[in-house]
Amino acid sequence: MEYFVTFTNQSQGRDRIFRAAQYGSALLIYLLKNKSGRQKLIKKLQSLESNMSTGRKLFRLGNTVSAINAAKRTLHLEDPVLRLCLTVANLNRSLYFLCDNILWARSIGLVTNMDKERWRVHASRCYFVSLLMNLTRDLYGIYQAMEREAQDKQYRQKVSQHRSDGRDVACVAVLNLQTLLLLLYHSLRCNPSILLDTVKNACDLFIPMDRLGIYKTNPGVVGLCGLMSSILGILTLMKPSFKLKP
């Protein structure tokens, strides 16, 4: 129980649990939609989802400042690619939070003359760009890990042994692909934090893509992706070694 208390004492910890519950509810609603006799349960799940969404929006007030602070920190990174990706990602996150705060004010009736749809699209767009930059950073991280792995002596021995078994052109081409995939597998296995972050961002990407109409799926897929990325987010909080740095 002490562990649970420490975990939930972190502001992010609670938010991740509620996000998982929110997207879990969305997924369940989609799965139960066409089943008869489940209307009451669906209504309850809809209430729960909406309540979690509004509550989380309330607690996100002020996150714009945190995101700008994160952008200031990433401006000092040495690696130019990381510096660019992370700073732009954090700046877009801060804009997303700003739009989110405005949508919260609209949802509780503080602000009335406001085009809710337009601000939703703004928020989704900023979120989408932020995720793209994070994925770019992940791909760069994977590329660097693969380079490091390729220079590793033990690994090179394995590959040359593997290559010496095949001779003709087609075999060589297939072997090259196999080598690449093997390299990718080894790199990801030795860097679980990059793997986790990539999968998390890839799952999250479906949410704004659906909202913006870039790649329409359905509420079930959005719910499932949101749930998976929230669970992965909870994992990185529970085991800080899984968190990708910087």
Binding site for other proteins (CB under 8 A): 1-2, 4-5, 8-14, 18, 43-44, 47-48, 51-52, 54-55, 58-59, 62-63, 65-66, 68-69, 72, 108-110
Whether residue 134 contacts residue 201, with contact meaning beta carbons closer than 8 Å, is answered with yes
Shortest spacing between CB 79 and other proteins, in angstroms:
23
Q: Which is nearer to other proteins, 50 or 160 (CB)?
A: 50
- Distant-in-sequence, close-in-space partners of 64: CB < 8 Å, separation ≥ 6: 94, 97, 98, 101
12 or 176: CB nearest other proteins: 12
Distances, alpha carbon 57 to alpha carbons 19, 30, 97, 141, 180, in Å: 11, 23, 9, 31, 43
- Cβ 238 to other proteins, closest distance in Å? 15
Q: Nearest distance from residue 60's CB to other proteins, in Å?
A: 10
| Nearest to other proteins of 15, 138 (CB atom) | 15
- Return the structure tokens found at 110: 């503080």
Contact 216, 200 (CB under 8 A): no
What's the CA gap between 92 and 132, in Å, rounded?
10
Choose between 13 and 192: whose C-beta lies nearer to other proteins.
Answer: 13
| Min dist. Cβ of residue 102 to other proteins (A) | 15
Closer Cβ to other proteins, 56 or 163, answer by number: 56
The whole-angstrom separation of Cα 23 and Cα 12 is 16
Q: How far is the CB of 46 from other proteins (least distance, A)?
A: 8
